[in-house]
Amino acid sequence: MDLRHLRYFIAVAEEQNIGRAATRLHISQPPLTRQIQQLEEELGVRLLKRTPRGVELTQAGALFLDEARNIRAVVEQATERTQRAGQGKLGRLDVGIFGTAILDAIPKLLLAFRRSYPEVKIVLHTMNKGEQIEALRQRRITVGFNRMLAPLPDITTRLVANERLLLAMSHTSPLAAQESVAFPALRDHPLVLFPTGARPNFIDKVMTLCHEAGFEPIVSQEVSDAITGVALAAGGFGVCLVPESTTSLALPGVIYKPLTDLPHHAQVDLSCIYRSDDQSPILEAFLGTIEQMRSTLPSGAALTE
Amino acid sequence: MDLRHLRYFIAVAEEQNIGRAATRLHISQPPLTRQIQQLEEELGVRLLKRTPRGVELTQAGALFLDEARNIRAVVEQATERTQRAGQGKLGRLDVGIFGTAILDAIPKLLLAFRRSYPEVKIVLHTMNKGEQIEALRQRRITVGFNRMLAPLPDITTRLVANERLLLAMSHTSPLAAQESVAFPALRDHPLVLFPTGARPNFIDKVMTLCHEAGFEPIVSQEVSDAITGVALAAGGFGVCLVPESTTSLALPGVIYKPLTDLPHHAQVDLSCIYRSDDQSPILEAFLGTIEQMRSTLPSGAALTE
DNA sequence: ACTCATCAATACCTTTAAAGTATGATCACC
DNA sequence: GGTGATCATACTTTAAAGGTATTGATGAGT
């Protein structure tokens, strides 16, 4: 049986006349007669009763007419859904994010994407840098977000935003009175650093900046993530260098101060990563959304990749 | 798009390899490649990613695989249901019955049919003789039950049962003391007759029997149906001749007595009627059930049609 | 009762498209 | 850098759908 048989049968059933149905189908009458005979033979069921004025449906034929119309609708829907999936409009996007990536840029991006592609289900997976790479390779996620990614052959990195560094501290800190803080002044203040974990990381970056400024920092504590770092700073453990987006994290007693006397490269990137060979239209769509969002993301617009 | 395309695509998706899928489908590899390309082109969607080791599904392909399997299942079910309908095992049987046909034979028949064909929905329509003929011609019912049907060219009549006549009366009736009643004795007793309506009817039959026995009956009352007739008899309006199956109607104060001295043809038929040109397998099945039930129906077994 | 009109079915031919054969291109894997 | 596996392409064969002409059946109208 063929979809053609169904189409033909529906036409014949609706016209109650093989000749008229043939005209409607833009074929001649004899082949239509044969196709219907074929269908009846294959099913082993008489679908039509031939009368001198045309044909009429048997009970089985009436039932099959319903079924045929249903099948036609199911096929149409399947086609349409598949086409939407092929255009990246329908499906699922698994995103790997790190703990504090939930701040600022990424929610904005995901909301913008969801607005454009409401039928794509976004699933978030919290995982660290190494886990993201692993998950990308195993296709458990389609895209990941992270900072300071080392280049890899099979994973493409794409800069989403570049953020300035700020200093988080307790409002009781001796630096709290200043409008801004000169970076070299940090030589005399204990630092809370994060994140521990896969290298290179933000701790390495801060250490390098200090060395470039000609001092060895006093490390008060190394912690796993930004939230813990800011919390310790609030508790008086020291000051904590953070990416600008972290200011969304308004813990009680925490204040953020801009830094001066920093080199131009003293910024921290936020990038997304995906498999280099991934052709998925949903990924395409997501990267397109990032492109459109660039101007609204911190510094991103001003930077080349 | 064709069901063949779906079948082929499912095989390819399952084998993840066009060559192997071709083997499984008992065709060679190139036509299969082409059919898949055709499918992709028609949908405008890339369903497979070609790799050196075979093929793998894209997201859209994975979705289409689900859809294709679903369509296949829907088509299979449609086929099966249609075939059952063609065998009279699935569908609907509209039956016309008269008021007191609900007694005895007809319920037995309907129950037996439902046991053999549980997926045929039986719909009962209470209507009199004329309405049944009309409803048959308009296809609102497939089969009707009635008594004393005049032959018609487009309606076939088939005897289901032949019932003896009994006499219904009040337990206070002067005839109540006898074990049985000789028919000619009715000349002195007022009769309740039924049914009024389309001729020939049971009233005509009773009148003829009286005339044949050499008397003009005293007609106490003519009523529309057996229930009313028996009820009036119970109320003392007279005695009432009824078909044997009416004894299922145990109204308070009613007793039934056998009749003697009656000619052999003093029986009343119960027949079913259907359109002579009706080839419906459900009707076939129902007539088959009647055939099987004959021996258990009153006198039916002993009679030719 | 007979003819005509209508419609489905059949016979036979044409055209389209699916299946087969042979071969080429690509890429991992030794 | 060959070798084997896999998909794609070119070309031929075959099967099946479609077209034309005609027949057969049946009911309506004269």
CB contact under 8 A, A58 and B279: yes
For residue A1, list chain B residues with Cβ-Cβ distance below 8 A.
Answer: 3, 75, 79
Contact B45, B64 (CB under 8 A): yes
Identify the weakest region by mean pLDDT among A133-147, B147-161, B213-227, B231-245: B147-161
A262 & A276 share domain? no
A60 & A200 share domain? no
Q: What is the mean pLDDT of chain A?
A: 92
Establish if B279 touches chain A: CB-CB under 8 angstroms: yes
Q: What is the pLDDT of residue A101?
A: 66
Q: Tell me the pLDDT band of A299, cut-offs 50, 70 and 90.
A: low
* A53 CB and strand C closer than 7 A: yes
For residue B67, list chain A residues with Cβ-Cβ distance below 8 A.
Answer: 77-78, 81-82
The pLDDT of B156-185, averaged and rounded, is: 93
CATH code of B211's domain: 3.40.190.10
A58, A86, A114 - which closes a domain: A86
Contact B39, B5 (CB under 8 A): yes
A67-112 pLDDT, tens digit each:
999 999 999 999 999 999 999 999 999 999 987 767 788 999 999 9
Output the distance from B55 CA to C26 C1' rounded to whole Å: 14
User: Given a cut of 60, is residue A305 above it in pLDDT?
Assistant: no
Q: Report the percent of chain A where pLDDT is more than 70.
A: 97
* Rg of chain B over all Cα atoms, to the nearest angstrom: 32
A8-51 pLDDT, tens digit each:
999 999 999 999 999 999 999 999 999 999 999 999 999 999 98
The pLDDT of B193-215, averaged and rounded, is: 92
A112-143 pLDDT, tens digit each:
999 999 999 999 999 989 899 999 998 999 99
For residue A81, list chain B residues with Cβ-Cβ distance below 8 A.
Answer: 63, 67
A181 & A230 share domain? yes
Output the distance from B52 CA to C29 C1' rounded to whole Å: 11
B267 by DSSP, 3-state: which? Answer: strand
Identify the weakest region by mean pLDDT among A216-230, B37-51, B77-91, B145-159: B145-159
Residues 198-257 of B with CB under 8 A from A: none
CB contact under 8 A, A4 and B1: no
CATH code of A27's domain: 1.10.10.10
CB contact under 8 A, B49 and A279: yes
* A276 CB and strand C closer than 7 A: no
Contact A12, A35 (CB under 8 A): no
Within 10 angstroms of residue B107's Cβ, the number of other Cβ atoms is 13
CB contact under 8 A, A91 and B59: yes
For residue B45, list chain A residues with Cβ-Cβ distance below 8 A.
Answer: 82-83, 85-86
Instruction: Report which DSSP code applies to B118.
Output: T
Residue whose CA lies closest to nucleotide C19 C1':
B31
- Shortest Cα distance, chain B CAs vs residue A82, angstroms: 6
Residue whose CA lies closest to nucleotide C6 C1':
A53
Q: What is the pLDDT of residue B58?
A: 95
Q: Which residues are within 7 Å of strand D by their Cβ atom?
A: A 2, 4, 26-32, 34-35, 38, 52-53; B 17-20, 29-30, 33-34, 36-37, 50, 52-55
Establish if A44 touches chain B: CB-CB under 8 angstroms: yes
B22 & B81 share domain? yes
Contact B34, B52 (CB under 8 A): no
Establish if A78 touches chain B: CB-CB under 8 angstroms: yes
Q: What is the residue range of B74's domain? A: 3-86
User: Given a cut of 60, is residue B80 above it in pLDDT?
Assistant: yes
Establish if A2 touches chain B: CB-CB under 8 angstroms: yes
User: Given a cut of 80, is residue B140 above it in pLDDT?
Assistant: yes
B86, B108, B132 - which closes a domain: B86
Contact A91, B63 (CB under 8 A): yes
Q: What is the pLDDT of residue B153?
A: 82
Which of residues A255 and B103 earns the better pLDDT score? Answer: A255
Q: What is the mean pLDDT of chain B?
A: 92
Output the distance from B30 CA to D12 C1' rounded to whole Å: 13
Structure tokens at B24: 């499984």
A274 & A262 share domain? no
Q: How many CB pairs under 8 A join A and B?
A: 106
B73 & B50 share domain? yes
B197 & B251 share domain? yes
Structure tokens at A32: 């239509």
B129 & B167 share domain? no
A96 & A135 share domain? yes
User: Given a cut of 70, is residue B305 above it in pLDDT?
Assistant: no
Establish if A108 touches chain B: CB-CB under 8 angstroms: no
* A4 CB and strand C closer than 7 A: no
Q: How many domains does chain A have?
A: 3
Q: What does the alpha-carbon distance between residue B226 and residue B241 come to, in Å, rounded to a whole number?
A: 9
The pLDDT of B209-220, averaged and rounded, is: 95
For residue A68, list chain B residues with Cβ-Cβ distance below 8 A.
Answer: 78
> What stretches of chain B adopt beta strand conformation (E)?
48-51, 54-57, 91-97, 120-126, 143-146, 155-170, 181-182, 191-193, 219-222, 239-243, 254-260, 267-275
Q: Which nt has its C1' nearest the CA of A34?
A: C9
Residue whose CA lies closest to nucleotide C27 C1':
B52
Looking up tokens 């409009």, which residue turns up?
A89
Cβ-proximal residues to A158 (8 Å cutoff; 6+ apart), any chain? A271, A272, A273, A274, A287, A290, A305
Establish if B123 touches chain A: CB-CB under 8 angstroms: no
Contact A84, A90 (CB under 8 A): yes
Q: What is the pLDDT of residue B299?
A: 62
Which of residues B102 and B254 earns the better pLDDT score? Answer: B254
Q: What does the alpha-carbon distance between residue B200 and residue B271 come to, in Å, rounded to a whole number?
A: 14
- Shortest Cα distance, chain A CAs vs residue B199, angstroms: 33
A86, A104, A126 - which closes a domain: A86
CB contact under 8 A, A59 and B280: yes
A153 & A225 share domain? no
* A58 CB and strand C closer than 7 A: no
Establish if A52 touches chain B: CB-CB under 8 angstroms: no
Cβ-proximal residues to B63 (8 Å cutoff; 6+ apart), any chain? A81, A82, A85, A90, A91
A156 & A283 share domain? yes
User: Given a cut of 50, is residue A302 above it in pLDDT?
Assistant: no
B194 & B243 share domain? yes
Output the distance from A154 CA to D2 C1' rounded to whole Å: 27
Cβ-proximal residues to A2 (8 Å cutoff; 6+ apart), any chain? B2, B3, B4
User: Given a cut of 80, is residue A303 above it in pLDDT?
Assistant: no
Which of residues A233 and A304 earns the better pLDDT score? Answer: A233
